[in-house]
Amino acid sequence: MTALLSVSIALSVVFGWWYVRGLIRVRRHPQGRRAQRWRPWLLLLAVVITVVVTAPPLGELLERRLSTHMVQHIVLIMVSAPLLALAAPGRPLLAGMPRTLRAGVVRTTRRLPLGGLLTPHFAWAAHIALLWAWHMPAAYDAALRNDSVHYLEHACFLGTAWLFWWHLATVTRHRLRGPVALLYVIAAVPPGAALGALLTFPDHVLYPVQAAHALASGVNPLADQRIGGIVMWVPLDLAYMALAVWLFLRWFGQLDREERKEALPVIPGPVPGEPSVTRWR
């Protein structure tokens, strides 16, 4: 645990320095200054929330029960990940890297088949698949037994959720809009609901290691598991449905504005060749 924490702190310091240096460089340009005015604060908020819910002491307290452990997962997926997507730290981070490292990163990304990895289909599938995979009993208990596996679990949740949200919050032309964005979000509701139901309705304990932690805390493991399933089920689906409603209203508002613009009366100008008439009042 100490070694992993030390490595995490060291990497955070290095990436933080690169980001700050790159942000200064980006802000030298007028367009970059306007675009990066509020994004660093979102990034800082995302980092603080992630550290608070995963690091001791709160992280250890949340992981003692399945119900609170699900709260931790929901925060990573529905709070930290969208904040990271909105913060868009990629450009400042790349600009702050040493020149040789930056050139190597650019060359590598150009050679890799990132076109397929950056599609909405892959983002949706990866997010749902890893969400289910890490909540299978063997993987879930393995993460509780081993700190390295637990860090990997959190990284998978945060990374795939960030990629999922990136398609809704990116500042590039790849951002999903209109009915496509709406369907993209709605398609994430049934898998989350099914996973929550899988935890809620069984009449036996699914995670022995988590059940032992719950018993040590004086909590009924089966009741704790069912509460955890409801936590995974209800807030996650409500958040997705609220986002779907907001996307629908935004799309409907855009259609309404376009229709009004097309319905504006066209005032004809003077016909070429005819003398203009000036009216005096």
In degrees rounded to 5, what are phi and psi of residue 200? -85, -40
| pLDDT at residue number 62 | 92
Give the max Cα distance, the chain. 95
Q: How far is the CA of 184 from the CAs of 65, 100, 120, 222, 235, in angstroms? A: 32, 38, 8, 34, 18
| pLDDT at residue number 279 | 44
| pLDDT at residue number 222 | 95
pLDDT-based confidence at residue 173 (cuts at 50, 70, 90): low
> For the ranges 169-178, 222-231, 240-249, which has the lowest average pLDDT?
169-178
**Residue found by looking up tokens 């304990």 in the block:** 205
In degrees rounded to 5, what are phi and psi of residue 239? -65, -45
Predicted TM-score (pTM) of this structure: 0.82
Q: What is the mean pLDDT of residues 89-100?
A: 87
| pLDDT at residue number 106 | 81
Q: Does the structure show a pLDDT above 80 at 9?
A: no
> For the ranges 30-39, 91-100, 112-121, 220-229, which has the lowest average pLDDT?
30-39
Q: What is the mean pLDDT of residues 134-156?
A: 93
Instruction: Give yes or no for a cis peptide into 57 (omega within 30° of 0).
Output: yes
Instruction: Convert the pLDDT of each residue in 178-223 to its tens digit.
Output: 889 899 999 999 998 999 999 999 999 999 999 999 999 889 999 9
Tokens of 3: 């070694």
Q: What is the mean pLDDT of residues 16-35?
A: 76
**Amino acid letter, 193:** A
